[in-house]
Structure 1
Amino acid sequence: MARIKKAAVIGAGVMGAAIAGHLANAGIRTVLLDIVPKELTEKEKAKGLTLEDKAVRNRIARTGKERLFKEKPSPIFHKKTADLIEVGNLEDDLEKLGEADWVIEAIIENLEIKQSLFAKVEEVWKPGIIVSSNTSGISIHEMVKERSAEFRSHFLGTHFFNPPRYMKLLEIIPTEDTSDSIVSGMKAFSESVLGKGVVTAKDTPNFIANRIGVYGLQVTFQKMLEDGLGPDEVDSVTGRAMGRPKSATFRTLDLVGLDTFVHVSDNVRENVEEPEEKKAFEVPDLLREMVEKGWLGSKSGQGFFKKVKTDKGKEILVLDPETKEYRPRRKLKAPSLEMAKRAKTMKEQLRALVYADDAAGRFAWYITKKVLLYSAARIPEIADDIVSVDRAMRWGFNWDLGPFQVWDAIGVEKSVARMKEEGETIPPLVEELLASGKKSFYEESPEEIQAFHLGGELRKVEEHPKTIDLARLKEQGKVIKSNRGASLIDIGDDVLCLEFHSPKNAIAADIIQMIQHSVKEVSENYRGLVIGNHGDNFCVGANLMLILMEAQDQNWPELDLMVRQFQKAMGSLRYVDRPVVAAPFNMTLGGGVEVSLPCDRIQASSELYMGLVETGVGLIPGGGGNKEMLLRWMDGVDPKDRISLQPLVNKVFETIAMAKVSTSAEEARDYRFLRREDGITMNRDHLLYDAKQQVLALDAAGYRVPKPRKVPVVGETGYNTLRLGAYGMLQSGYISEHDYKIAGKLAYVLAGGTVPEGTLVDEQYLLDIEREAFLSLAGEPKSQQRMQYMLTKNKPLRN
């Protein structure tokens, strides 16, 4: 792995600043440089500054850094992350490039300007420093062809996808001169430290993902015009129905920026040789007109879609390609779209759509056919293997399946036969596959996956050694026990993984039962337990529908039993005699937090949206979350120090009452969802592995079960303090009467009831009053309204 402790980014535009931000996310000190301004702004003139003042000379880089705090979603994990970014300019601070381990160029897409810049960089460059370009399509070789052989051996392309924090793909583009050790070292560094999915691409126009992705967008645009459809109707087909993001085609174009899309398309058209391919990348007149008018998409306020104010509020209109006027949106309705929705697997979904003889099916078939043929025809020009292409499209465009995985899903033989009937030319790679007697590009067994290569060779698909694939382990018979909601899986080294797989990973009786079984099994036969999964989110909380139904039926004994069992299961996680490590990621809400808090350690994904959000549905945490947060905030505090207790309880109250949710794992530390000793993993694919290492380390260190604690509470005095604060918010109009009622119940639990201030209570006492408050709120009509609203609208009701 490349050892990179300090980096430099040249170019403080949107992309350059965001790359600097993500390097800082990874804990790397970064200097961000840009050119020196040639003119003063009006504000600078008013301050009496000159072009020689440092504040002016560093203005462009400083503005890029400041932009990191304003953009949404945030490019950085935490405000303090930006402290790792130093700003400067290319005249005064050029020598700082010689102090970096990695220099990244992210300036204007102009070959001559880049060549000139790298000549300056080499003047201060020292042997061993890695230099790369973030270009999205200019030849990597051409940029440095005049540089020394040693410089060229340390030079490569590193194409980040925007926004760098959130987009997984990083294309690494070596030249013939790039050292193999630099390529492998940067790949390993980018995967482990930056959390990227790395694909090695060839130095061809727009590399892999943009080459295929932009082709697909062009084909879709041209087919839309040919069929007389609107962008909204096309997006009904090309989104989730085809295993693509919800933003589909035209909302994606608006997000990317139409000017950016035109630039990338033009770059391919100008640099490819085949006339047919050049024609495929010709930008339609409509698109050029929109760019000329400044209709660039989201960044200009309008593109294919436009948000307007109406009497009823805000409405999103769509551009009619024929009239070039905006109109109300409509969806393309077709039987195939409904069939696709009902399909259980992506394979069934795609087959239901592309082979259907209706408007949606015919449209989906055409663009799928074109993208598959183009992808196969571009091998080995843009990549040596199909795996790189599939990964690039999954990681760079968020497709569920890459092109060759799609081909396998819809059936290679069946689809090729239809393509031939329609007069299409089948690429050599596909002809070779079928001539060899094989019927798919991938062959899977429980032990491995193999992929087809040119020449008819099958090669094992290599996975990162830190990847733990639960589905594959299940195929290998590693399941210890399973039910509808969860499975207990042997992940090696005498460590088990408890995997949730209920709808949205919501917690109900089946998961609680599996937790209890896991604790018993681990205690008797294993070294420890990891709680993690491969879902879209770790856990969105308890099964709200079940709670609402029991409350509406006034089945209080059953609901009370459910909450008791949940609390008991969480207690068993805390006091089992083997180490337990939770591996939360993405949405980890309500009950998902309550599962994580009692564990000995948390190994969190860097992308962690963690919070006790029960007040939003008219409740408070009922699975021990209040007690666990008190324990965390009071850790190390002298129980006799009553002055220190109240501010800590206030913090817990504020966090839970306001349903605060972290926007990263770093921010989760602020709320003490994570402790100092908890770990953060940048690459989610490595999360289960890292959590397993935590278990093994705790076991090797001679793990001891934590002892139950007495908790000092603020009692009646603190309860009144908390209620007074909530009353002030009620009087100011910040919260409703029902919010105030919920806050009162929460205050009572966190204060430990009305006992004297400083009383030491045991954990079961706190659980009992928590459960009573939870059940009381569940019976409130307004709380039930909130639960119902969340279930139907998927957003909180403030009644």
Structure 2
Amino acid sequence: MSRFNVRKVAVLGAGVMGAQIAAHLVNCKVPVVLFDLPAKEGPKNGIVTKAVENLKKLKPAPLGVAEDAALIQQANYEEHLEALRGCDLIIEAIAERLDWKEDLYKKIAPFVNDNAILATNTSGLSITAMANVLPEQLRSRFLGIHFFNPPRYMALLELIPTEYTKPEVVDQLEAFSTSAVGKSVIRAYDTPNFIANRVGVAGMLLTFREVERSGLGYDVVDDLTGKKLGRASSATFRTADVVGLDTMAHVIKTLQNGAKDDPFNGAFETPAALTTLIEKGFLGQKTKQGFFKKEGKTILQFNAATGEYGAAGGKADDEVSKILKKPAAERLKALRESSHPHAQFVWAILRNAFHYAAVTLESIAETARDIDFAMRWGFGAKQGPFELWQEAGWKQVAEWVKADIDAGKALSKAPLPAWVFDGRDGVHTAEGSWAPKLGKYVPVRNLPVYERQYFRENVLGSNAPSAATAGKTLFEDAAIRLWTLDDEVVIASIKSKMHTISAEVTSGLTKGLELAEAGYKGLVIWSQDGPFSAGADLQSMMPAFMQGGGKAIAPFEKQLQDFMLSLRYANVPTVAAMHGLALGGGCELAVHAAKRVAAMETYVGLVEVGVGLIPGGGGLAYLARRAAELLEPSKGVSGQVGGELMGFLKEGFQAAAMAKVGTSAIESRKFGYLIDGDVIVPHKDEVLHVAIAQAKAMFESGYRAPAKKLIPVAGRSVKATLQSSLINMRDGGFISQHDYYISSCIADVLTGGDVDAGTLVSEEYLHALERKHFCTLLDNPKTQERIMGMLSTGKPVRN
């Protein structure tokens, strides 16, 4: 696969977006130089320096680890323009002023190398208008690149070429953005707000209109339009607060002014409540009050009529909540036919979404797939509007929408396009998605980079390959599927909810390892949907525990521990292909593999303290072993090693005792759950490809499992030191007595128990200590309270 070789990226503009784009490039190990104006006072890089320092404080964190801010090269336009010559991609991210952008382009043009791509990160200005002010030699290498905020976490990236942009330039930038930066790319026409913000912001404005019609409170609206509707949990008004009400108003103004021929333009008036809040300086999350504000633990909502805040907490009616759980066809029918105000409101916003997507599709996007992806990747929806429409029954829903338009209930009189009624059953087919401008179905774009995504995300109705049935099945039961794509590597996919680990899953994994050792080049543990593994399946343990108490669980724990060691010492390479959560037993499963391939957004940790337990699948034995391995190169295993081991054990102890979770794959490496030889992959859909490639490469390189060795442990003296710190925390009220007891158990295992410093022990010895404490804790009433609380509410109990 040929690729666009990016040695370094320049980001022009150290504002909120520019600085965070630079941070995400650093996360992805892409060298970056961040430019801004020279400071009028003090060091010339002062503006950039302030922006980089601010990256360390932002939440959610734009950097995988805060110290990586030092990797951002700082520059200003007065002293450092020569640095642009070494940049193969330049992303301009200054304020939305065409005259300012034109001045900047003139300034940088002499320093842009002959092969570099110049892209503008804008959300509102015309890309073509900007291209027209560029020097001619840059126009063919210029296009729009629209990151969504926050750039690290939002999957969507819109690319907007102009009539001048060379097709290969767009292909190159799409490939780089996908594989190197981990983005999910759609291409947009150069129309106001492009695709995602055009449809998403229009949807929010139409929702505002329906709120004014219905008189529902912001709290009820957000409860109805969040997870219950398959959308982001921040729903409508909370999303506006997070985005920033001033930013929201700017995007609305762009839509009003730029899309005057939009059939819904009459409904795009800036909501009076939004205007009032901005006039008061209440800009949402950034000012700690907007549509909502928090006082202590109380959430309040703004009352536009009084200009004051009042009680929030209203919820959707139970009757309507039940309707929203029905299958799509039943759900829409019930909403439309119900007389309940909440149901009528939800039907209205769904009807508006279908209506708007249909009438604007031809002018803003090549295919219906692009709109659905934009809503998924840019606004956190589980389905785009066309997917839901098609699932619910295309023809019936079309008739319902038409009837509402004819009856004057819709927010625009624009009729649905003729193609809606041409006898079709939807817009997504195995052939491709509907492109009204072309009058045909268009398949997904198959650039070489997408060969790295075996199960590329696709839309309902496309009949795209699914990992649940792909390849050749080697074994399958209710707990696991063992399969292969190439007859060379076994893939183990856990099937339980959240991919939790039960005795049946452990047996399935054991079978997978046996198959791999018998005739394959390796074993990869990977599942397509959901987390890598959320840990042990506590629910599955309950029957045995109820009959025999903690002792009855010991055989299950030993089975799990024995499998972990067999994974570590297997005769073929074993690779954990990780994304999402890898907690508790999931973390233990990963650390015992020969290698880990993790998506950037992988969150790893030993969290058993939350349910009153200690790690019981070899996690603490792993931390003790890693401490000895880290000590060995610098100190050896002879002599007084207790004090030296203390330094390596301390961070692992704190991570396990405080249930710390790495908030990125990078931070998980810092905690020791990933190590230097592991691979971090920016795009989650490439994890399986890379994991299989790693397993094959290790096998072809003559892989041999590590030799079993005895482990020097820190002993009773270091255990006493760790416990003394726990006593201070307990007596200071920072942890409970039960927390102290659990953490003491963790310290006992990590240090090897009541032995001298430097005593050599086996992993099996440490596993036995783990089992003893794990089973004893299961019999403790305080732990049982925590387990039952977690099983019943999903939230940790502090006792």
Report if TM-score (shorter chain) is over 0.5: yes
2:376 counterpart residue number: 394
1:630 counterpart residue number: 624
Equivalences for residues 220-299 of structure 1 within 5 A: 220-274=207-261, 276-299=263-286
Q: Deviations over 1:622-674 (max 9, x none)?
A: 01111122222222613224333343233432332222221111111222111
2:426 counterpart residue number: 440
Equivalences for residues 172-191 of structure 1 within 5 A: 172-191=159-178
Alpha carbons of 1:127 and 1:747: their partners in 2 closer, same or farther (altered >3 Å)? same
Deviation at 1:708, TM superposition (A): 2.4
Q: Deviations over 1:86-141 (max 9, x none)?
A: 22322233333333222211111111221222121213333222211111010111
User: Conserved in 2, the CA contact under 8 Å of 1:713 and 1:752?
Assistant: yes
Of 689-698 and 486-495, deviating more is 486-495
Q: Distance in 2 between matches of 1:3 and 1:566?
A: 45
Deviation at 1:373, TM superposition (A): 2.2
Alpha carbons of 1:276 and 1:633: their partners in 2 closer, same or farther (altered >3 Å)? same
Deviation at 1:726, TM superposition (A): 2.8
User: Conserved in 2, the CA contact under 8 Å of 1:711 and 1:760?
Assistant: yes
Q: Deviations over 1:473-516 (max 9, x none)?
A: 43457333333333223233422222223222222223122112
Task: Give the letter aligned to residue 301 of structure 2.
Answer: V
Q: Distance in 2 between matches of 1:348 and 1:465?
A: 38
Task: Give the letter aligned to residue 339 of structure 1.
Answer: I
User: Conserved in 2, the CA contact under 8 Å of 1:334 and 1:360?
Assistant: no
| Counterpart selection for 1:365 from 321, 329, 347 | 347
Alpha carbons of 1:235 and 1:620: their partners in 2 closer, same or farther (altered >3 Å)? same
1:47 counterpart residue number: none
User: Conserved in 1, the CA contact under 8 Å of 2:531 and 2:579?
Assistant: yes
2:510 counterpart residue number: 516
1:8 counterpart residue number: 10
User: Conserved in 1, the CA contact under 8 Å of 2:535 and 2:585?
Assistant: yes
User: Conserved in 2, the CA contact under 8 Å of 1:239 and 1:247?
Assistant: yes
User: Conserved in 1, the CA contact under 8 Å of 2:582 and 2:602?
Assistant: yes
Alpha carbons of 1:348 and 1:717: their partners in 2 closer, same or farther (altered >3 Å)? farther
2:322 counterpart residue number: 338
Equivalences for residues 558-573 of structure 1 within 5 A: 558-573=552-567
User: Conserved in 1, the CA contact under 8 Å of 2:12 and 2:91?
Assistant: yes
Of 372-381 and 159-168, deviating more is 372-381
Alpha carbons of 1:423 and 1:751: their partners in 2 closer, same or farther (altered >3 Å)? closer
Deviation at 1:780, TM superposition (A): 1.3
Q: Distance in 1 between matches of 2:750 and 2:470?
A: 47
| Counterpart selection for 1:171 from 129, 148, 158 | 158
Deviation at 1:426, TM superposition (A): 10
2:392 counterpart residue number: 410
User: Conserved in 1, the CA contact under 8 Å of 2:624 and 2:751?
Assistant: no
Secondary structure at the counterpart of residue 598 of structure 2: strand
Alpha carbons of 1:355 and 1:109: their partners in 2 closer, same or farther (altered >3 Å)? farther
2:789 counterpart residue number: 789
Task: Give the letter aligned to residue 479 of structure 1.
Answer: T
Task: Give the letter aligned to residue 323 of structure 2.
Answer: M
Task: Give the letter aligned to residue 132 of structure 1.
Answer: A
Query: Do structure 1's residue 722 and structure 2's residue 719 form an aligned pair?
Result: no
What percentage of aligned pairs have identical amino acids? Answer: 38
Of 233-242 and 207-216, deviating more is 233-242
User: Conserved in 2, the CA contact under 8 Å of 1:202 and 1:383?
Assistant: yes
Query: Do structure 1's residue 741 and structure 2's residue 763 form an aligned pair?
Result: no
Deviation at 1:144, TM superposition (A): 3.0
Q: Distance in 2 between matches of 1:795 and 1:484?
A: 27
| Counterpart selection for 1:461 from 444, 460, 464 | 444
Q: Distance in 2 between matches of 1:580 and 1:740?
A: 36
2:402 counterpart residue number: 420
Q: Distance in 2 between matches of 1:429 and 1:526?
A: 55
Deviation at 1:438, TM superposition (A): 2.9
Alpha carbons of 1:319 and 1:426: their partners in 2 closer, same or farther (altered >3 Å)? closer
State how many pairs are aligned. 773
Secondary structure at the counterpart of residue 680 of structure 1: strand
Q: Distance in 2 between matches of 1:570 and 1:624?
A: 7
2:102 counterpart residue number: 115
Secondary structure at the counterpart of residue 709 of structure 1: coil
Deviation at 1:794, TM superposition (A): 3.7
User: Which structure 1 segments of 5+ residues have no match?
Assistant: 39-50
Alpha carbons of 1:356 and 1:549: their partners in 2 closer, same or farther (altered >3 Å)? farther
Q: Distance in 2 between matches of 1:426 and 1:702?
A: 70
| Counterpart selection for 1:544 from 538, 546, 553 | 538
Secondary structure at the counterpart of residue 59 of structure 2: coil
1:216 counterpart residue number: 203
Alpha carbons of 1:634 and 1:162: their partners in 2 closer, same or farther (altered >3 Å)? same
1:590 counterpart residue number: 584
Alpha carbons of 1:642 and 1:607: their partners in 2 closer, same or farther (altered >3 Å)? farther
Secondary structure at the counterpart of residue 294 of structure 2: strand
Q: Deviations over 1:403-425 (max 9, x none)?
A: 22122122110101112222359
Secondary structure at the counterpart of residue 422 of structure 1: helix
1:36 counterpart residue number: 38
User: Conserved in 1, the CA contact under 8 Å of 2:395 and 2:424?
Assistant: no
Secondary structure at the counterpart of residue 159 of structure 1: strand
2:647 counterpart residue number: 647
Q: Distance in 2 between matches of 1:475 and 1:440?
A: 24
User: Conserved in 1, the CA contact under 8 Å of 2:490 and 2:515?
Assistant: no
Q: Deviations over 1:60-79 (max 9, x none)?
A: 21111111001011101112
Q: Distance in 2 between matches of 1:465 and 1:397?
A: 26
Equivalences for residues 74-93 of structure 1 within 5 A: 74-93=61-80
TM-score normalised by the chain length of structure 2 = 0.92
Q: Distance in 1 between matches of 2:14 and 2:510?
A: 53
Equivalences for residues 12-91 of structure 1 within 5 A: 12-38=14-40, 51=41, 53=42, 55=43, 57-91=44-78
Alpha carbons of 1:99 and 1:579: their partners in 2 closer, same or farther (altered >3 Å)? closer
Task: Give the letter aligned to residue 272 of structure 2.
Answer: D
Deviation at 1:554, TM superposition (A): 4.8
Q: Distance in 2 between matches of 1:794 and 1:608?
A: 20
Q: Distance in 1 between matches of 2:547 and 2:291?
A: 48
User: Conserved in 2, the CA contact under 8 Å of 1:710 and 1:761?
Assistant: yes
Deviation at 1:462, TM superposition (A): 4.4
1:380 counterpart residue number: 362
Alpha carbons of 1:237 and 1:81: their partners in 2 closer, same or farther (altered >3 Å)? same
Superposed CA RMSD: 2.4
Alpha carbons of 1:651 and 1:422: their partners in 2 closer, same or farther (altered >3 Å)? closer
Q: Deviations over 1:745-771 (max 9, x none)?
A: 222212222233322222211111110
2:409 counterpart residue number: none
Q: Distance in 2 between matches of 1:354 and 1:84?
A: 55
Alpha carbons of 1:285 and 1:714: their partners in 2 closer, same or farther (altered >3 Å)? closer
Secondary structure at the counterpart of residue 17 of structure 2: helix
Q: Distance in 1 between matches of 2:445 and 2:133?
A: 36
Deviation at 1:17, TM superposition (A): 0.9
Q: Distance in 2 between matches of 1:377 and 1:433?
A: 10
Alpha carbons of 1:788 and 1:79: their partners in 2 closer, same or farther (altered >3 Å)? same
Q: Distance in 2 between matches of 1:694 and 1:351?
A: 50
Of 465-474 and 229-238, deviating more is 465-474
1:46 counterpart residue number: none
Q: Distance in 2 between matches of 1:348 and 1:604?
A: 40
Q: Distance in 2 between matches of 1:648 and 1:36?
A: 44
TM-score normalised by the chain length of structure 1 = 0.92
Alpha carbons of 1:155 and 1:87: their partners in 2 closer, same or farther (altered >3 Å)? same
Deviation at 1:238, TM superposition (A): 1.1
Q: Distance in 1 between matches of 2:773 and 2:205?
A: 58
User: Conserved in 2, the CA contact under 8 Å of 1:337 and 1:360?
Assistant: no
